[in-house]
Structure 1
Amino acid sequence: MRLFSEKYRLLTWLSILLIGGFLTTIVTSYIVSRNAIRQNVVEQALPLTSDNIYSEIQKDILRPIFISSLMASDTFLRDWIIVGETDITQITRYLKEVKDKYNTITSFLVSENTQHYYHAGGLLKTVSKDEPRDTWFYRVRDMQPEYETNVDIDMANRDAMTIFINHRVLDYDGNFIGATGVGLTLDTMTDILDSYQKRFHRNIYFTDAKGEIKMTGKSMQDIHGPIAKLPGVSAIAKDILNRDVRPTQLEYQHNGATILMSSRFIPELDWYLLVEQDITDDVRPIERVFVINIIVSAVATLLILALTLFAVNRYQRRLEQIAGTDTLTGLLNRQAFEIVFQQAILDSERRRIPLSAILFDIDFFKMVNDNHGHLAGDRILQSIAAITKNAVRESDIVTRWGGEEFLVLLKDCPLEQATALAEKIRSMIAGHDFELPASALHLTVSLGVAEYAYRETWLSFFGRADTALYQAKSEGRNRVIVSRPEATTDAQ
């Protein structure tokens, strides 16, 4: 029981060490890998994507601003207004060439003097303060910045939602004389944003200076309103609106996912460019590897524990065998026999079956050692052990009792049968050729036989067998003497 307890205590500690070691290694590796991915996205991938998108915006969105600026400073346009707007075909041709050359959806001019609205198709209308659609012109007239970006409907293009670049036109003395610019349809811009998102695999959208979402791709059309009310984004809304033209790296959680964001203020638009990346997909392969490592580690742990249990059991059996076996003959030693004998006694008394013992000794064995050496003596002991094993039943137990003494325990064997078996052993040994020199002593054994009496002590039982053995020796050796519980003995 103690060996059993020690064995499983060892396995328990080994399991704890293995599991702890595997888990520590796997979890540490997972955390390091996940942090490396996050750091790579934050420090490299996301800023680089933001820079690339910003460059694309400069080409696709900021380009109309530059066109409008060129138009507002064009001497032809300013002179045409100053001299009285006499030839409408001239300004119409000019606006058409701008529209065609730069591939814009519209190009326009509104004169402060006449309030006329010109576009590539000619005179569209006369603006009025009382017309809600015209309020943009009076806002531009009174504003301080040179231009504004405005999303509005375009009457010249079937009221299509259009991003207008409204630029102030000043005369040579700096007085406001009109507003000019170009427009891009909102659909065109959303298509551009969609192309960015597909190319860079990021969510991209714009907010104005107050945090109101102004433009998204078609795949994000369900996102609208102020960012302060967006789930997750609301926690970092104040950090986004910092008017910093350098990219600001932020992070928020939404529906269990980690979202990394790069925020950048674009002064030309007075908008913020927001680029988001969900790193869940990037971390998912690491999570799969994490799960696989857990499974592999569990299997490895079970295999190691199984091999360890097998080795411990084998080693324990080996130790038990070594502890209970005579190393020279391979028979049970006296210590191991005592355990087996106690069980045999209990079995005999419980089942009321006979139990007998044969105790025998090699005659004049000391002379063999003295005359032929201990190696010859060892070979004889091994041979006698083998002869005895072959003479008895498999259920019978043969043990080396002492130096040249052997004991055979016979289960379910009455005295008469045990006596016959003892005679068989004596005869086989006496007739065996031990390959000793011709001048050597002829080897024989003396045997004592006893049957266990009910409730007899083991000292009494073996004492009677030992007495019978010595009687056999005293009566001339090479014989069997029987000891009976009634203390009578018969020579055989």
Structure 2
Amino acid sequence: MRLLPERYRLLTWISLLLVAGFLATSIASYVVSRDAIRQNVAEQTLPLTSDNIYSEIQKDILRPVFITSLMSNDTFVRDWILTGEHDTDRIARYLKQIKEKYGTVSTSLISAHTLNYYYAGGLLKTISATEPRDVWYYRVRDMQADYEINVDIDMANRDAMTIFINHRMFDYDGNFIGVASVGLTLDAVAHLLENYQTRFHRTVYFVDREGNIKLAGKALKDVHDPIGRLPGIADVADKVLNDSSTPIHHEFQRGDATVLMSSRFVPELNWYLLVEQNISDDVLPVQRVLYLNIAISAIVTLLILGMVQLVVRRSHRQMEAVAGTDTLTGLLNRQAFEMVFHQAMLDSERRGTPLCAILFDLDYFKNVNDAHGHLAGDRVLRDVAGIARGAVRENDIVARWGGEEFLVLLKDCPLQQAIVIAEKLRTRIATHDFALQGSDLLLTTSLGIAEYAQRESPSDFFSRADRALYQAKEKGRNRIAVSQPPSQPTSPSAPPTTRDNG
């Protein structure tokens, strides 16, 4: 940083501050928005979705529960069993009508007296306590609740996995007389899950007590491993399988994605309902806003830096101009002239071209200030500066040397041509009307000319021009004096160390 110029150092700090400010603001906004989305999903969206899906499932399951309740309390069914189960076609027509009316995939009736298994097609078989497929009947017979929801194969529907609602039947005296059942295929429930996922934009599936995925949509259709072996969710599998019917929040990483999950136990199915949401999908719009903010910040930063650069450059040029320009006359000041002279001196030595200087001041300038005031004196100095610029060539340099002294640097100019230019300058000043009202004072100038000698020091060069100027004044003013090169003899004249304004 210290190697940079001061103005670029300032721009660098401004850039760093702008970038840091924009980045801090954008990242802070992103983090706050991301955390708010995560909190909203975890505390509101997922539990609400889980409740909605659970309500939908209950509604879908309660409907067949209501159907079995109607069947078990239907006087026709009870009377048909109690009167000896005659005319199988009658009960078959009844079961078929129930199936078609309510849209179930199966309807069945098992009599406790004969153990006959009736369905919409008639008599299917007679169940046996030794048949593994029939153990469910004996479980329902001996249970305390009026009905159960069970997932099992449907013998009347080509052994398709089916959700059965099995309802116990009693006669008019409260004696157990059989079981009425309706079935919903798992494919139908899986279709419901697909609808849930489409509607709620979540991944919904069921697992059993061992964590095996029992029912899922297309996304998890081919997944056969228990959740305890799946990446990410394996870290929270033990917390998921906890028999809690209240939704519980979980969070885990699946690859680079953060997944939020709500789990709850569904006692009607003896399964767990899991609802997942990839939080990355919800955070993606916020990330896009972050990238957009960063892009806008970068553009704004570049615009601000460009404007600052322009202002700094303009200010720098103005300061350089003020630092190198005489404020009164607009000419170069002495400090700026010395830098210009140094370059001109090097060019003269390298190219072998002549270099001359004319040092001049106004004769009796103190009288102008005394008689007309300093404002008039300043106006005269400005006029002289303009005359000097007009008398020299375009590539020559005019500077205010100090007070009423001026210096003209003539590049690539031999001594004889410098004398001609000095005479033109003297004549123009002597004949110029400086508009000093109420005075017949004529302003004149004395000029000293020196030609630069190779390898001569600047101080020696300007000292020779200064001595030549004094020689012109000593000879009567309003004239030119020439300083000969150091190798040639010069008339001895020791210039005074101080000078008055004359």
TM-score, with length taken from structure 1: 0.91
Who is 2:397 aligned against?
397
Who is 1:488 aligned against?
490
Q: Which moved further from structure 2: 341-350 or 253-262?
A: 341-350
Q: Tell whether 2:436 aligns with 1:436.
A: yes
8 Å CA contact 1:71, 1:77 repeated in 2:
yes
8 Å CA contact 1:265, 1:272 repeated in 2:
yes
Q: Tell whether 2:318 aligns with 1:312.
A: no
Secondary structure of the structure 1 residue equivalent to 2:223: coil
Alignment of structure 1 residues 156-305 onto 2, 5 Å: 156-169=156-169, 177-305=177-305
8 Å CA contact 2:151, 2:269 repeated in 1:
no
8 Å CA contact 1:62, 1:268 repeated in 2:
no
Who is 1:154 aligned against?
154
Who is 1:116 aligned against?
116
Residue 172 of structure 1, CA deviation: 7.5
**In 2, Cα distance between equivalents of 1:200 and 1:2:** 59
Unpaired runs of 5+ residues, structure 1, are none
**In 1, Cα distance between equivalents of 2:42 and 2:197:** 18
Alignment of structure 1 residues 110-149 onto 2, 5 Å: 110-141=110-141, 147-149=147-149
Residue 162 of structure 1, CA deviation: 2.3
Who is 1:478 aligned against?
478
Alignment of structure 1 residues 339-488 onto 2, 5 Å: 339-437=339-437, 439-485=439-485, 486-488=488-490
List, as ranges, runs of 4+ consecutive aligned residues in structure 1 with deviation greater than 6 Å. 171-175
| Distance of aligned partners of 1:167 and 1:122 in 2 relative to their CA distance in 1, 3 Å threshold | same
Map Cα deviations across residues 267-289 of structure 1 (whole Å, 9 max, x no partner). 22222221222222221111111
8 Å CA contact 1:483, 1:489 repeated in 2:
no
8 Å CA contact 2:380, 2:434 repeated in 1:
yes
8 Å CA contact 2:395, 2:411 repeated in 1:
yes
**In 1, Cα distance between equivalents of 2:280 and 2:367:** 89
Residue 341 of structure 1, CA deviation: 2.0
**In 1, Cα distance between equivalents of 2:457 and 2:225:** 100
| Distance of aligned partners of 1:154 and 1:252 in 2 relative to their CA distance in 1, 3 Å threshold | same
Q: Which moved further from structure 2: 260-269 or 328-337?
A: 260-269
8 Å CA contact 2:357, 2:410 repeated in 1:
yes
**In 1, Cα distance between equivalents of 2:3 and 2:196:** 70
Residue 232 of structure 1, CA deviation: 2.0
| Distance of aligned partners of 1:277 and 1:2 in 2 relative to their CA distance in 1, 3 Å threshold | closer
CA-atom RMSD in angstroms: 2.6
8 Å CA contact 1:149, 1:164 repeated in 2:
yes
8 Å CA contact 1:191, 1:218 repeated in 2:
no
Q: Which moved further from structure 2: 14-23 or 165-174?
A: 165-174
**In 2, Cα distance between equivalents of 1:145 and 1:221:** 33
**In 2, Cα distance between equivalents of 1:249 and 1:60:** 25
**In 1, Cα distance between equivalents of 2:166 and 2:29:** 55
Map Cα deviations across residues 336-389 of structure 1 (whole Å, 9 max, x no partner). 222222222233223322211100011111111111111111111111111111
TM-score, with length taken from structure 2: 0.90
Secondary structure of the structure 1 residue equivalent to 2:43: helix
Q: Which moved further from structure 2: 404-413 or 133-142?
A: 133-142
| Distance of aligned partners of 1:249 and 1:173 in 2 relative to their CA distance in 1, 3 Å threshold | farther
Secondary structure of the structure 2 residue equivalent to 1:401: strand
| Counterpart amino acid of residue 215 in structure 1 | L
8 Å CA contact 2:194, 2:218 repeated in 1:
yes
**In 2, Cα distance between equivalents of 1:409 and 1:2:** 37
**In 1, Cα distance between equivalents of 2:227 and 2:161:** 22
Residue 329 of structure 1, CA deviation: 0.4
| Counterpart amino acid of residue 458 in structure 2 | W
Residue 111 of structure 1, CA deviation: 2.7
Who is 2:500 aligned against?
none
8 Å CA contact 1:429, 1:445 repeated in 2:
yes
8 Å CA contact 1:207, 1:213 repeated in 2:
yes
**In 1, Cα distance between equivalents of 2:20 and 2:219:** 46
**In 2, Cα distance between equivalents of 1:192 and 1:104:** 15
Unpaired runs of 5+ residues, structure 2, are 493-502
| Distance of aligned partners of 1:55 and 1:127 in 2 relative to their CA distance in 1, 3 Å threshold | same
**In 1, Cα distance between equivalents of 2:427 and 2:4:** 45
Q: Which moved further from structure 2: 110-119 or 406-415?
A: 110-119
**In 2, Cα distance between equivalents of 1:103 and 1:247:** 31
Map Cα deviations across residues 298-329 of structure 1 (whole Å, 9 max, x no partner). 22222222322222222222112111111000
Map Cα deviations across residues 411-447 of structure 1 (whole Å, 9 max, x no partner). 2222111111111111111222222226331111110
8 Å CA contact 2:150, 2:269 repeated in 1:
no
Q: Which moved further from structure 2: 174-183 or 334-343?
A: 174-183
Secondary structure of the structure 1 residue equivalent to 2:5: helix
Q: Tell whether 2:325 aligns with 1:329.
A: no
**In 2, Cα distance between equivalents of 1:19 and 1:370:** 61
**In 1, Cα distance between equivalents of 2:207 and 2:73:** 29
**In 2, Cα distance between equivalents of 1:105 and 1:456:** 117
| Counterpart amino acid of residue 381 in structure 2 | L
Residue 450 of structure 1, CA deviation: 0.5
8 Å CA contact 2:73, 2:169 repeated in 1:
yes
% identity of equivalent residues: 64
Residue 128 of structure 1, CA deviation: 3.1
